[in-house]
Copies of this chain bind each other. A is one copy, B any other.
Amino acid sequence: MTTILKLGGSVITDKAREGTLDEDGLAVAADAVAEVNAELVLVHGGGSFAHPRADAHGITDTDGTDDAAAVADVHSAMTALSDAVVGALHDRGVSALPVDTLSAAARDGDGDLSLPTGAVERMLGEGFLPVVHADPVVQTGAGATVLSGDEIVTSLARSLDAERVGLCSEVPGVLDADGAVIDRVDRWADVAGALGGSDGTDVTGGMAGKVRTLLDLPVPAHVFGPEGVVPFLAGETPGTEVRGG
């Protein structure tokens, strides 16, 4: 059974400095992944590599561009970050391979995503660990829009029939109105009051949208901070468990 772990861009990049790794954050996550024996797919966001460039070009997950150079600019920032993640895993003896979604995915005119998983499944079958990254994706009628790591996770959770999904960001879980971690969310109504809208500085949306999406998944999802990666991969339930089905 496959486990999917998403590392938010904020965990592996320095949000304050464009195009700069958070070396410590990446090392902690890579160390944890290197300890795991399970069949794992890693997904990561764009952080300070991609968001400033997407913002500069005016590309979001719904607003696209026909400017191929702008698309390639965001894409090359993402592949640079992916290379760093894959390299950190190779340094620890993990058989990681990069998967870029611009090359495989597409959205229809309603923005619905198709993400074929033939390559990812073959990688898992051969003992490789696929590292799938947020990327521009071509969309009917819109040029190219942004495909977030969260959206990749929810697509892969279904298509790979994943057993567990973990989303690691800079916050320790879904927080209530007092800033405390909520252990478990079963229904949107339980958290609607505590969760605001999406974070305006992040082209991929904030916690409210994330929880709503995770509630729709057929598998349990866990939302945690960097300290949760090791326990999550060990089968524990750090942070918030979101289980809608």
Q: Among the listed B68, B83, B114, B121, which residue makes an inter-chain contact with A95, where contact means beta carbons less than 8 Å apart?
A: B68
CB distance from A175 to the nearest CB of B (A): 35
A103 contacts B100, C-beta separation under 8 Å: yes
A86 touches B72 (CB 8 A): yes
Flag whether A122 is at the interface (Cβ < 8 A).
Answer: yes
CA distance A141 to B128 in the complex (A): 12
CA distance A119 to B90 in the complex (A): 28
Residue pair B99, A72 in contact (C-beta under 8 Å): no
Asked whether, in the complex, the Cβ of B114 is within 8 Å of the Cβ of A118, the reply is: yes
Answer yes or no: A44 CB below 8 A from chain B CBs.
no
Residues of B within 8 A of A116 (CB): 104, 116, 118
Interface of A is mostly: mixed
How many angstroms from the CA of A105 to the CA of B141 in the assembled complex?
26
- Chain B CB within 10 Å, residue with most, of A103, A104, A119, A141: A103
C-alpha gap A118/B105 in the complex (Å): 7
Q: Are A100's CB and B97's CB within 8 A?
A: no
Contact A127 B66 (CB under 8 A): yes
Contact of B72 with A97 in the complex, beta carbons under 8 Å? yes
A75 contacts B by Cβ under 8 Å: yes
Among A68, A75, A95, A105, find the residue whose CB has the most chain B CB atoms closer than 10 A: A68
Tell me whether A95 and B76 are in contact in the complex, defined as CB-CB below 8 angstroms, given that A118-B106, A138-B122 are known contacts: no
Cβ-defined contact, A138 with B126, below 8 A? yes
Q: Are A126 and B66 in contact (CB under 8 A)?
A: yes
Q: 0/1 per residue, A142-185, Cβ < 8 Å to B? A: 11100000000000000000000000000000000000000000
The list of the 4 closest CB pairs from A to B, nearest first, reads A106-B122, A68-B95, A116-B116, A104-B104
